[in-house]
A = this chain, B = another copy of it.
């Protein structure tokens, strides 16, 4: 079995093929209450126990969607996929929780606490601007007594060898980080927060180890806390503009929410595409949207036009320059609107804590 290190690099080339290996169920077989391009396009492709969530939606029972952000770098457009997914589940009744993983960031990366607060607040504002309505924002470092105790109590029912099998080499910092994550995922089910209920966590495959251990622990503590095993959805990442991964530490690999129009234009125009070596060849054979970062952006931020773009590209009717110009325009419009909403969000932020 491939080993996934949630604190290191995670390279998955073929998401579909990895599902069997990692015990993830495909989402394409699941009928969701409302269509959404994130599922249609396969960006959100897999799940664990989504049935518990669908059941809660159907019966109008309480359920929670929870995500965490790592306050170690600026928020880029790739991060917005998870927010769009939250907005979707919120429209179906989810209570939403967003936490800043500041304790974990300190333990695994050693960031400055003041700096982490600035970054977290910027994330929170972006989340609101992206359409998240009522939502509980919080910091790991400001957890309640029950939450803190839970993170310690959980240590009792997981063995060292289990953790080692899942994470590989361990350090006290990694063990504590992992315990905090389990506690984060389970805390919506604490009495003080409303008690046991289905919880769904939207994650990338790199977070799978945390999900798996948390599910085991939820089961092992079912008598003490009555926990329901948490569900998860699995999403792909937007590809980097230069190919490879998008990364906060490589500014040209991603478009950031605070990029100027000029920067966005420059990054898009220099982006890698699925185009051919010459215009002639592209006219003849068509482009390859399936490997094209520019098309990936279209499919998320210009989703209504993405079918037309895919088809024109494949038929050799749409050249990369033109396609990039369209994306440029779309992103400039998106960011302009976003920043206006963000300004407004700033005034409302206090209500979210």
A→B interface (CB under 8 Å): 103, 106-107, 110, 141-143, 145, 148-149, 151-153, 155-156, 158-160, 163, 170-173, 175-177, 179-180
Cβ–Cβ contact B179 & A176, under 8 A = yes
Q: Which of B107, B155, B171 contacts A172 (CB 8 A)?
A: B155
Cβ–Cβ contact B173 & A172, under 8 A = no
How far is B194's CA from A17's CA once the two chains are assembled, in angstroms? Answer: 57
How many identical chains are in the complex?
2
Cβ–Cβ contact A176 & B152, under 8 A = yes
Determine the residue in chain B with the shortest Cβ distance to A107.
Answer: B156
How far is B236's CA from A125's CA once the two chains are assembled, in angstroms? Answer: 59
Inside 8 A of A173's CB, which chain B residues have their CB?
155-156
A110 to B: closest C-beta gap in Å: 7
Cβ–Cβ contact A107 & B143, under 8 A = no
A151 to B: closest C-beta gap in Å: 8
A179 to B: closest C-beta gap in Å: 7
Q: Which of B107, B151, B179 contacts A153 (CB 8 A)?
A: B107
A132 to B: closest C-beta gap in Å: 26
Inside 8 A of A172's CB, which chain B residues have their CB?
155, 158-160, 163, 175, 179
Cβ–Cβ contact A142 & B141, under 8 A = no
Inside 8 A of A148's CB, which chain B residues have their CB?
143, 145, 148
Determine the residue in chain B with the shortest Cβ distance to A109.
Answer: B156
How far is B155's CA from A107's CA once the two chains are assembled, in angstroms? Answer: 7
Q: Which of B141, B152, B171, B180 contacts A159 (CB 8 A)?
A: B171
Determine the residue in chain B with the shortest Cβ distance to A108.
Answer: B156
A138 to B: closest C-beta gap in Å: 11
